[in-house]
Structure 1
Amino acid sequence: METLEKRINGFKSQDIMDTVGAIQSNPEIAKFIFRVRNQWIAGGHNRSSIKDFYGGCVEDESRTEPFVFDNSEPPILLGNNEGANPVEYILHGLAGCMTTTMMLHAAANGIEVEHVESYLEGDLDVQGFLGLDNSVRNGYQNIKVNFKIEGNITEEQRRQLISFVYKSPVFDIVTNKVPVSVSLI
């Protein structure tokens, strides 16, 4: 029983087992709907708020206040730096999701990690976005991710940790086409 109460990488082994068991007994628990509300402010500046979501077969009520994120552009892209730009948020989301995924799967596999850092770069040519060259993609042409992982781990465990990042939902989103519908309300 002591092993189940143990925390590995900030996760309780019992919590992982309970969550997996609940989903195995009722797969509907695994279905989530996340929501973001966004409002344009001026120029390239807009603001998103994130609060409510559906998960575990219920509307979540754990958040009393929304998370608020300002999106903008640097001056060279006609903004005033009121916030990171949306493609930078994509890199942030990718980094965060891959790291969390790695640490959760590491904990589930009993691999203790002391420190993880990631460094991401995305190559983007704005000619596509601006409609100047239709042969240039609108978004990132390439994203490079490098991880620095420290701990008393073997080289095999290090490779296993890197393999876990491919299970990241955001990794899947940026590497596979996701159907997106756009409409007016």
Structure 2
Amino acid sequence: MKGSRTINGFDIHEISDVIETITKSPKRAKAKVRAIYEWEVSAKKSGFTEDSFFANLDNSFSSHPCVILNKNEWVIPIKLLLESLTKSMTTTMLIHSAARGIEIMALTISVAAETDIRGFMQLDDAIRSGFKEVKIEMIIKGNLSETQKNQLIQYAIEAPIYDVLSNNVTLNTSTH
């Protein structure tokens, strides 16, 4: 076994092994990330359901993260982005519906996306380091008409994080 050498908290040999593996077998570079946010009025509860799928070097998908790139730390910011999206959509929908007298009993927003580690590792310029698509599913419970449900969906897609992700935003980067 190779000796361990870390830089910035990451094992250099582990990074090399991941690069070698995903270069030989690109299917192993896929990672699915999903965030589910659930809100219920009666239970007065809300929160995230842990439900992520990470790429394993044995080319399977598992709900238990394999230990690649320092326990999948590379995917944590991606998952936080999806969690922020679900929470932003939920909050926006609840505020707008309350302001209009529309009562929601329960709401679940699930977002899912797939990424490719080769883009993140800059191994292929044709592959983005982020997502090509984010899929959003909503389950809205309450005594609602279809028109009201469609109205609620329109409120949700006006959420600030949804807006940032779906529109071009100028990012100004500098170093000091």
TM interval, shorter chain, is 0.5 to 0.7
| SS of structure 2 residue aligned to 1:116 | strand
Higher relative contact order (CA 8 A, sep 6+): 2
- Quick one: which of 159, 164, 180 aligns to 2:171? 180
Deviation at 1:176, TM superposition (A): 1.6
Deviation at 1:123, TM superposition (A): 1.5
- TM-score, structure 2 as length reference: 0.60
| SS of structure 2 residue aligned to 1:136 | coil
- Kindly provide the CA deviation profile for residues 72-117 of structure 1, in whole angstroms up to 9, marking residues without a partner as x: x954541226797100001000000001011111111110100001
Hey, what does 2:139 align to over in structure 1? Answer: 148
Distance in 2 (CA, whole Å) between partners of 1:128 and 1:119 is 24
Q: Which amino acid aligns with 1:159?
A: N
Deviation at 1:119, TM superposition (A): 1.2
- Kindly provide the CA deviation profile for residues 34-74 of structure 1, in whole angstroms up to 9, marking residues without a partner as x: xxxxxxx7339xxxxxxxxxxxxxxxxxxxxxxxxxxxx95
CA gap 1:126/1:82 in 2 versus in 1, 3 angstroms: closer
Distance in 2 (CA, whole Å) between partners of 1:122 and 1:101 is 22
Q: Which amino acid aligns with 1:158?
A: K
1:105 maps to 2:96: yes
| SS of structure 2 residue aligned to 1:88 | helix
Is the contact made by 1:124 and 1:142 (CA closer than 8 Å) also made in structure 2? no
CA gap 1:127/1:84 in 2 versus in 1, 3 angstroms: closer
Distance in 1 (CA, whole Å) between partners of 2:109 and 2:175 is 38
CA gap 1:179/1:146 in 2 versus in 1, 3 angstroms: same
Distance in 1 (CA, whole Å) between partners of 2:146 and 2:81 is 30
Hey, what does 1:43 align to over in structure 2? Answer: 10
Hey, what does 1:115 align to over in structure 2? Answer: 106
**Fraction of identical pairs, as percent:** 33
- Quick one: which of 154, 159, 162 aligns to 2:150? 159
Distance in 2 (CA, whole Å) between partners of 1:43 and 1:182 is 25
- Quick one: which of 60, 82, 85 aligns to 2:76? 85
Distance in 1 (CA, whole Å) between partners of 2:100 and 2:70 is 45
| SS of structure 2 residue aligned to 1:113 | coil
CA gap 1:136/1:83 in 2 versus in 1, 3 angstroms: closer
Runs of 4 or more, structure 1, over 3 Å off, are 73-77, 81-84
